């Protein structure tokens, strides 16, 4: 399977990249923005990751994540079935490779919502991808959102906030930064970056 590198593609060189990576600290609002965007544009395809994390209330297998055991994750990694994977705050997460490559081959826009380590791996393996960083309006607001979501115990929130400091420092590595003040505005900006509207 070949994803045509930019420059040799038959599409004009200024065409938007098909693969978009959305990253940002836990609690910044990535899932909220993506859900809002897909409510109005269900044609935007979002990769469903595999994770060893336990489901939160309401999360469905195959919809929000493929919830896998440690052994299953070991196998996915060993068999080269993941485009990228990373350990984040005590759990492993990875992007199933085949589904993403199929969509790209069909010329469809593809969105990955993954952490910083994953974004770096995608940048290495698919330099044509555009990397978008979702930033909080302030550190205090990030803490408020992560705590207010109420899905993690305090020690997990602490761990995620430690990771958030590292992620915020890496913002300059990204092609574009969107500040999540308004979900509607960010969703619109993201759609424009993906050339969907
Ligand atoms: P992430 O997917 O980045 O971990 P979530 O989408 O779960 O973050 O959002 C974390 C919390 O912040 C949720 O309670 C969500 O409702 C809230 N939130 C998201 N975006 C905004 C926003 N623009 N303004 C206020 N609250 C927001
Ligand atoms: P959560 O547990 O809050 O759903 O996700 C925690 C972090 O893992 C978030 O930053 C999210 O973007 C990231 N993540 C989700 N799926 C993947 C994936 O497939 N690969 C990587 N590297 N990170 C992921």
- Residue reference for tokens 């994803």: 3
Report pLDDT digits (tens) over 33-71.
999 999 999 989 999 999 999 999 999 999 999 999 999
Question: Does residue 62 sit within a domain?
Answer: yes
CB distance 155 to 130 below 8 Å: no
Question: Does residue 41 sit within a domain?
Answer: yes
Give the whole-angstrom CA distance, residue 194 versus residue 119.
Answer: 16
What ligand has the least distance to the C-alpha of 28? 1
Q: Is the pLDDT of residue 29 over 80?
A: yes
Q: In what order do the strands lie in the sheet with 91-96?
A: 66-67, 50-51, 91-96, 82-88
CB distance 171 to 133 below 8 Å: yes
Question: Does residue 52 sit within a domain?
Answer: yes
CATH code of residue 152 = 3.40.50.300
Q: Tell me the pLDDT band of 27, cut-offs 50, 70 and 90.
A: very high
Report pLDDT digits (tens) over 113-152.
999 999 999 999 999 999 999 999 999 999 999 999 999 9
Could you list the residue range(s) of the whole structural domain that residue 73 is in? 18-193
Question: Does residue 1 sit within a domain?
Answer: no
Question: Does residue 4 sit within a domain?
Answer: no
Ligand 1: residue of 23, 145, 187 to mutate (most ligand atoms within 8 A of CB) is 145
Helix ranges (DSSP H) in the chain: 30-40, 70-78, 97-105, 116-125, 139-149, 154-169, 183-193
Q: Tell me the pLDDT band of 197, cut-offs 50, 70 and 90.
A: confident
Q: Is the CB of 31 under 6 A from ligand 1?
A: yes
Question: Does residue 5 sit within a domain?
Answer: no
Q: How many folded domains does the chain comprise? A: 1
Question: Does residue 13 sit within a domain?
Answer: no
Question: Does residue 84 sit within a domain?
Answer: yes
Q: Tell me the pLDDT band of 1, cut-offs 50, 70 and 90.
A: very low
- The rounded Å distance from CA 135 to ligand 1 centre is 11
Q: Cβ < 6 Å from ligand 2: which residues?
A: 26, 30, 49, 53, 84-86, 88, 93-95, 113-115, 117-118
Q: Is the CB of 145 under 6 A from ligand 1?
A: yes
Give the whole-angstrom CA distance, residue 118 versus residue 114.
Answer: 6
């Amino acid at each position: 399977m070949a994803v045509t590198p930019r420059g040799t593609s038959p599409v004009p060189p200024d065409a938007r990249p098909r693969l978009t990576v959305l990253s940002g600290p836990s609690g910044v609002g990535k899932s909220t923005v993506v859900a809002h965007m897909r409510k109005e544009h269900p044609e935007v395809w979002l990769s469903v990751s595999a994770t060893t994390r336990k489901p939160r209330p309401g999360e469905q297998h195959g919809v929000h994540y493929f919830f896998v055991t440690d052994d299953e994750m070991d196998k996915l990694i060993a068999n080269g079935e993941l485009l990228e994977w990373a350990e984040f705050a005590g759990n492993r997460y990875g992007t199933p490779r085949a589904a993403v490559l199929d969509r790209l081959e069909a010329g469809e826009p593809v969105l990955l919502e993954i952490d910083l380590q994953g974004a770096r791996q995608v940048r290495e393996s698919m330099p044509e991808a555009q990397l978008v960083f979702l930033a909080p309006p302030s550190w205090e607001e990030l803490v408020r959102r992560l705590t207010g979501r109420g899905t993690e115990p305090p020690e997990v929130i602490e761990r995620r906030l430690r990771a958030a400091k590292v992620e915020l420092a890496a913002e300059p590595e990204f092609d574009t930064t969107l500040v999540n003040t308004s979900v509607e505005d960010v969703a619109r900006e993201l759609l424009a970056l993906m050339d969907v509207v």
